[in-house]
Amino acid sequence: MPSATSAIQSKLPKVGTTIFTRMSKLAEDYKAINLAQGFPEFDCSPDLQKLVDKYIRRGKNQYAPMAGVMALREGISQKVFAATKTEYHPETEITITSGATEALYVAISTVVNPGDEVIVFEPAYDSYVPAIEMNGGIPVFVTLDPQYEYIDWEIVNSKVTEKTKAIIINTPHNPTGKVWTESDLKQLDFLAEKNSLFVISDEVYEYIIFDDLRHVSAASIPSLASRTFLCGSFGKTFHVTGWKVGYCLAPKEFTTEFRKIHQFMVFSVITPFQFAIAEFLKEPDHYLSLSAFYESKRNIFNEAIKDIGFVLKPSEGSFFQNVSYKNLSEEHDLVLAERLTKEGGVASIPLSAFYGEETNFRVLRFCFAKNDDTLLRAAELLNKVVW
């Protein structure tokens, strides 16, 4: 249809369709196994499904309160207190959002004004930078070392200017699987305090953490918590990425401003699902068993691909395994990811998609949130690839 108005002046001129959507489509077109977009292949618990049914039948089908169903806010407050000893008041400091994506977007909108700089670690989850730019902010990148072994705090420090308003962190980290240590969080706390920065902490993989490592939440350090918007999601925790139920925890004054934007963005979040999650959350085993479940999948996948010649990067948490193919091919990661999907039958995500500038570290990200037999079939196909 020809447009009847003048051309739209794009707010996001550099942005196209996300790499996750593109690789999932390619996987579908070529009937490849989709280890690209991060979502579980398996279903959520039947008990959780029954709870949704129960609350729909009970008539919990109208708007939820703007800040979220109180039972869910109370449940989140209790679980966070049990893990961190920090108390978030359900009435004034917890907001239920449409997934972590909305929580992150609204948190960024709450603090970023035109011209403000925001420190972002690269490789970065894809929603941070557009959210900063939509609010007139300027992303300032700190590139993680390619082995993902440490955070160089001197470099982070050197990026702070008088325009720096906030810093975004993500632990466990997508796409690398890196888990931040207590020392990292303490250094962050020091830096944020010294420069009076807001912190946006993306902790959506908080319960998926391996090798006896421990998730250190921004909420566990009181001074850090007092300057942080903590964004979480039930998508990963209960295998329900399609439900888009997340949350933001932040001090009262932050939450007041956060809700002003949230209420005009979505107003409130799907009601019966909030009731169902609130009830399911009462049993801690429903989320505390997740690390062992995914660690076994990581190990099955890694064992099955170990003879291919990839260099396996450390995957300390999340449901991603990064592999370097530097000993196998010179190809650009985007070219290789497409070739592996079309000819090899396995879709992955090229790591360069998580950087603002053109890079090619020759690394692919595989998602192992799949049934064991899917992981083994994918590994078998990868073992047959001619390099």
State the residues that interact with ligand GLN by CB under 6 A: 18, 20, 37-38, 174
Q: Minimal distance in Å, beta carbon 353 to ligand GLN? A: 10
Tell me how far, at minimum, the Cβ of 143 lies from ligand GLN, in Å. Answer: 19
- How many whole angstroms separate alpha carbon 320 and alpha carbon 294? 10
Partner from ligand GLN, ligand PMP, none contacting 99, C-beta within 5 to 8 A by type: ligand PMP
Residue 196 DSSP class: T
Query: How far is 202 from 106, CA to CA, in rounded Å?
Result: 13
| Region class of 268: left (phi > 0), else alpha (psi between -120 and 50), else beta | beta
Residue span 33-72 as binding mask against ligand PMP, x where in contact by CB under 6 A, dash where not = -----x----------------------------------
Which CB atom, from 24 or from 360, has the smaller least distance to ligand GLN?
A: 24
Q: In the complex, which residue's CB is closest to ligand PMP? A: 99
Closer to ligand GLN at the Cβ: 21 or 371?
Answer: 21
Residue 375 to residue 293: CA distance in whole angstroms: 14
Structure tokens at 22: 């593109």
Q: Which residue is nearest to ligand GLN, using beta carbons?
A: 38
Distance in angstroms (rounded) separating the CA atoms of residues 349 and 352:
9
Give just the sign of the alpha carbon dihedral 40, 332, 305, 289. negative
Choosing among ligand GLN, ligand PMP, none, which partner's interface includes residue 100 (Cβ < 5 to 8 Å by kind)? ligand PMP
**Closest approach of Cβ 38 to ligand GLN, in Å?**
3
- Residue number with CB closer to ligand PMP (170 or 374): 170
Residue 199: φ, ψ to 5°: -120, 135
Does residue 204 touch ligand PMP according to CB under 6 A? yes
Residue 101 or 352 having the CB closest to ligand PMP: 101
CA angle 98, 101, 106 (to 5 degrees): 85
Show the binding pattern over residues 81-110: x = contacts ligand PMP (CB under 6 A), - = does not. ------------------xxx---------
Cβ-count burial of 189 within 10 angstroms (0-12 exposed, 13-18 middle, 19+ buried)?
buried
Strand pairing report for 117-122 and 138-143: parallel
Stretch that binds ligand PMP, among 52-60, 107-115, 241-249, 335-343 (CB under 6 A): 241-249
The one of ligand GLN, ligand PMP, none whose footprint includes residue 37, by CB under 5 to 8 A per kind, is: ligand GLN
DSSP bridge pairs for 349: 365
Give the shortest CB-68-to-ligand GLN separation in angstroms: 22
The answer for residues whose C-beta is within 8 angstroms of residue 330's C-beta and 6 or more apart is 362
Instruction: Give the SS3 label for residue 292.
Output: helix
Phi/psi for 191 (5° steps) reads -65, -45
Measured in whole angstroms, the distance separating CA 104 from the mean position of its chain's CA atoms is 10
CB nearer to ligand PMP: pick between 217 and 304: 217
Of 101 and 374, which CB lies nearer to ligand PMP in the complex structure?
Answer: 101
Other Cβ atoms within 10 Å of 329 Cβ, number:
15
With binding defined as CB under 6 A, does residue 174 bind ligand PMP? Answer: yes
Tokens 């129960």, residue located: 54
What is the closest distance, in whole angstroms, from the C-beta atom of residue 129 to ligand GLN in the complex? 14
Distance (Å, rounded) from C-alpha 59 to C-alpha 54? 9
Among 125, 180, 254, 287, binds ligand PMP (CB under 6 A): 125
Rounded least distance, CB 352 to ligand GLN, Å: 14
- Contact between 367 and ligand PMP by CB under 6 A: the answer reads no
For residue 90, cis peptide bond before it (omega within 30 degrees of 0): no
Looking at the Cβ atoms of 69 and 363, the one nearer to ligand GLN is 363
- The smaller minimum CB distance to ligand GLN, of residues 272 and 350, is found at 350
- Cβ 171 to ligand GLN shortest distance, Å: 15
Residues that bind ligand PMP (CB under 6 A): 38, 99-101, 125, 170, 174, 202, 204, 233, 235, 241, 244, 246
